[in-house]
Amino acid sequence: MEGCFEKIPNCNLAQICADEIKKANNIVLLSGAGMSTNAGIPDFRGPNGIYRRQLGVNPERIFDIDYFLEDPSFFYKFHREFLQTLKNIKPTYAHKFFAALEKNGKLKGIITQNIDSLHQMAGSKNVMEIHGGIWKSFCIDCNKTWDYEESMKLVFSQEVPRCDRCGGIIKPDIVFFGEMVKHLEESQKLVKECDLLFVVGSSLVVTPAALLPRLARGKIIIVNKGETNKSYLPSNIPTLHVEQDIDEFFKAVNYHIGLDFE
């Protein structure tokens, strides 16, 4: 891993990655929607992504805060579909691999753009959900909150869930376009301090998440098939881009490391 985006034969990539993991003491993962496609959850910008659907309007409106305030039913239609997809999902091999890396002390934290909680289900402890999560909902007018079970009941019993105290619209604790991300400072600190940053399953289009790798001072390994935006990446940090299926790649990596977690 001496230069940036070196062309290394595929068969050697897993070995190189395993060697980097062995050398590293402070690994951090930045994950995106591609991390969960093998669990059956569609991503946004991949070939079968949510934003590829022909909706007649810009699909990014699903998570646009202004549009949500104007017409929350548009978001809720997709949210109900998403929540159905989440039923019975299980963490993928890669989720479990990173949980095992934390358990053995190498990995210090995960910064995820995902709201599916699969990292936590896999056993990961230090997880920064920078785009929020589905664990909680709140009233946008009076701030009353509902836990996961209560939120589920409300979402599936009303077209647009409303607050029983003030009639305000209820919104899940997911970060929409136009809202501040969560845990940004802690995430920046994790990236600054790590000696090996993995970026897995993200197109690196959405900021500020896509800007985090700029803070890295060690090495970066990107595992992402398909279009990956490299314009925000630092030019002075050794960066390897692996364009393979995430689960297949980490299975090959673990062949060289031998973490026991299945």
User: Binding residue per annotation — 142?
Assistant: yes
Residue 204 beta carbon to ligand OAD: minimum distance, rounded to whole angstroms: 6
> Is the backbone peptide bond immediately before 72 cis, with ω within 30 degrees of 0?
no
CA–CA separation, 257 vs 107, rounded Å? Answer: 14
49 binds, among ligand OAD, Zn ion, none (CB under 5 to 8 A by kind): ligand OAD
Q: Between 48 and 236, whose beta carbon lies closer to ligand OAD?
A: 48
User: Binding residue per annotation — 139?
Assistant: yes
Helix axes 93-103, 246-257, angle to 10 degrees: 40
CA–CA separation, 123 vs 211, rounded Å? Answer: 27
CA–CA separation, 181 vs 177, rounded Å? Answer: 9
Task: Tell me phi and psi for residue 203, to 5 degrees.
Answer: -75, -10
75 forms part of the interface with ligand OAD (CB under 6 A): no
CA–CA separation, 132 vs 115, rounded Å? Answer: 6
From the number of C-beta atoms within 10 Å of its C-beta (0-12, 13-18, 19+), residue 144 rates as: middle
Q: Between 167 and 226, whose beta carbon lies closer to ligand OAD?
A: 226
**How many C-beta neighbours within 10 Å does residue 238 have?**
17
19 forms part of the interface with ligand OAD (CB under 6 A): no
Return the residue matching tokens 């995902």: 114
Provide the annotated active-site residues: 131
First to last CA, the chain: 29
Q: Between 147 and 227, whose beta carbon lies closer to ligand OAD?
A: 227
- Tell which positions 122-151 bind ligand OAD, by CB under 6 A: 131
| Residue from 124, 137, 202, 239 binding ligand OAD (CB under 6 A) | 202
212 forms part of the interface with ligand OAD (CB under 6 A): no
**What dihedral do alpha carbons 83, 135, 185, 209 form, nearest 10°?**
0
User: Binding residue per annotation — 166?
Assistant: yes
Binding marks (x or -) toward ligand OAD, 36..65, rule CB under 6 A? Answer: -xx----xxxx--x-------------x--
Which one of 82-90, 95-103, 187-195, 218-226 is the stretch in contact with ligand OAD (CB under 6 A)?
Answer: 218-226
163 binds, among Zn ion, ligand OAD, none (CB under 5 to 8 A by kind): Zn ion
What are the C-alpha distances in Å from 243 to residues 209, 211, 238, 246, 247? 20, 20, 16, 9, 12
112 forms part of the interface with ligand OAD (CB under 6 A): no
Residue 60 beta carbon to ligand OAD: minimum distance, rounded to whole angstroms: 6
| Residue from 205, 211, 215, 237 binding ligand OAD (CB under 6 A) | 205
Which chain residues interact with ligand OAD by CB under 6 A? 32-34, 37-38, 43-46, 49, 63, 113, 131, 175-177, 201-203, 205-206, 224-228, 245-246
Residues making up the annotated binding site for Zn(2+) are 139, 142, 163, 166
